[in-house]
């Protein structure tokens, strides 16, 4: 496993999870499920079971470096890649890929978000190692696709060639589709040819750098400076590089264009916890289908609700149906579940009226 590496992306602000997720302390650092671990810690511990801890790296915003060191004690300084600004996933992966390639020319690495949950960790490990083994022997870019359980409009979709596996459980990708409207998502689900895009990737350092050169050459050119990595020049170089690079996702820059993308259909109890709906789905329910991430809730004839609140706060529900109720120290959100997709836009309105105080 010495040539296997992990890059955990931990720089997002989780705006759809507002008001619990804030810019200064976003959701990856929260113990959202009440397990005693933050989502970041759970992700690190999941990989640490089969990847050497010193081979697990974090790509994050400069402002979160101290928080990561606090939550994952004992990291080497080199294991946290600090981004001076947010430029989406392609630049951060270009940075990580170049850094790891200069460390190990034969590196095989996994890219993972920091704020997802995985309930079946042995199955997750099995799929990741299957992808890593294949990537070490071939030049393909591999993504784990999640078998969908519902026509969800909050996820991207991967269409794969189901009838012709390249190898057992490994299939060629035909198309990527960003978050589709409901009717199209229903069609995807009915066809059986589509998977949710989990944003979990496996490839060799050589293969992804070749793909950057071919499909995203402007970003590749900025970061392709072998002499600056893993030495005292890296920090100043990265500050300059991020000022030059565009903001673009790895899906748009590489995955939607490359002709060597494969997928492994997977079912390991995955959720991206990107929305209050996903949290509701993953919490235990009472007899009225309510989910309570709170210690002191009294319920009178209320159903289908999610409630989160501080430990010292009593919440009383009377005749409430189908709502998200999220209580923090300084913000109370009461949102009809069907209006959840509006939360991200609402935070922009909050910013325009109150600045960053509540964000």
4-139+199-260: which CATH topology? Spore Coat Polysaccharide Biosynthesis Protein SpsA; Chain A (3.90.550)
Q: Tokens for 187, please give them.
A: 């069609």
Q: In angstroms, rounded to a whole number, what is the distance separating the alpha carbons of residues 279 and 21?
A: 13
269-282 burial, b for 16+ CB within 10 Å, e for fewer? Answer: ebbbbbbbbbbbbe
Domain with CATH 3.90.550.10 in the chain: 4-139+199-260
CA distance 159 to 188: 8
Task: Give me the residues paired with residue 266 across strands.
Answer: 146
CA atoms within 13 A of residue 206's CA, in its CB half-sphere: 11
Per-residue pLDDT of the chain (359 residues; tens, 9 = 90+): 679 999 999 998 888 889 999 999 999 999 888 788 999 999 999 999 999 999 999 999 999 999 999 999 999 999 999 999 999 999 999 999 999 999 999 999 999 999 999 999 999 999 999 999 999 999 999 999 999 988 988 889 999 998 878 888 999 999 999 889 999 999 999 999 999 999 999 999 999 999 999 999 999 999 999 999 999 999 999 999 999 999 999 999 999 999 999 999 999 999 988 889 889 988 899 999 999 988 899 999 999 999 999 888 999 999 999 999 999 999 999 999 999 889 888 998 998 999 999 99
Residue of 120, 121, 178 lying closest to 153 (CA atoms): 178
Q: Could you give the angle at which helices 205-215 and 89-103 cross, rounded to 10 degrees?
A: 130
Partners of 83 in the beta sheet?
61
- Residue 55 near residue 6 (C-beta atoms within 8 A): yes
- Tracing tokens 């990580």 back to the chain, one arrives at 96
Label residue 226 exposed, middle or buried (CB < 10 Å: 0-12, 13-18, 19+). exposed
The model carries a pTM of: 0.93
């Amino acid at each position: 496993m010495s040539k296997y590496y992990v890059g955990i992306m931990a720089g997002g602000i989780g705006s759809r999870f507002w008001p619990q997720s804030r810019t200064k302390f976003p959701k990856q650092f929260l113990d959202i499920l009440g397990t005693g671990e933050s989502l970041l810690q759970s992700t690190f511990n999941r990989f640490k079971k089969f990847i050497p801890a010193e081979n697990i790296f974090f790509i994050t915003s400069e402002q979160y470096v101290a928080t990561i060191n606090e939550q994952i004690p004992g990291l080497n300084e080199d294991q946290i890649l600090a981004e001076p600004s947010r430029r989406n996933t392609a630049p951060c992966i270009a940075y990580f890929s170049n850094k790891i390639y200069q460390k190990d020319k034969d590196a095989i690495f996994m890219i993972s978000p920091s704020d997802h949950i995985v309930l079946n960790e042995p199955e997750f490990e099995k799929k990741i190692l299957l992808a890593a083994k294949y990537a070490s022997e071939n030049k393909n870019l591999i993504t784990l696709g999640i078998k969908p359980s519902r026509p969800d409009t909050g996820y991207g979709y991967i269409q794969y060639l189901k009838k012709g596996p390249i190898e057992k459980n490994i299939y060629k990708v035909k198309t990527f589709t960003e978050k589709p409207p409901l009717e199209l998502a229903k069609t995807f689900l009915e066809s059986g040819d589509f998977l949710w895009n989990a944003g979990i990737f496996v490839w060799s350092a050589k293969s992804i750098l070749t793909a950057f050169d071919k499909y995203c050459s402007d970003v590749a050119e900025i970061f392709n400076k072998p002499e600056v990595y893993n030495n005292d020049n890296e920090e100043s170089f990265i500050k300059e590089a991020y000022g030059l690079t565009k903001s673009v996702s790895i899906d748009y820059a590489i995955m939607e264009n490359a002709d060597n993308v494969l997928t492994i259909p997977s079912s390991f109890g995955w959720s991206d916890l990107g929305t209050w709906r996903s949290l509701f789905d993953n919490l235990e329910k009472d007899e009225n289908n309510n989910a309570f991430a709170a210690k002191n809730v009294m319920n009178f004839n209320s159903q289908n609700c999610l409630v989160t609140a501080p430990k010292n706060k009593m919440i009383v529900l009377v005749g409430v149906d189908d709502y998200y109720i999220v209580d923090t120290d300084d913000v109370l959100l009461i949102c009809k579940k069907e209006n959840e997709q509006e939360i991200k836009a609402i935070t922009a309105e909050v910013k325009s009226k109150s600045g960053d105080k509540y964000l």
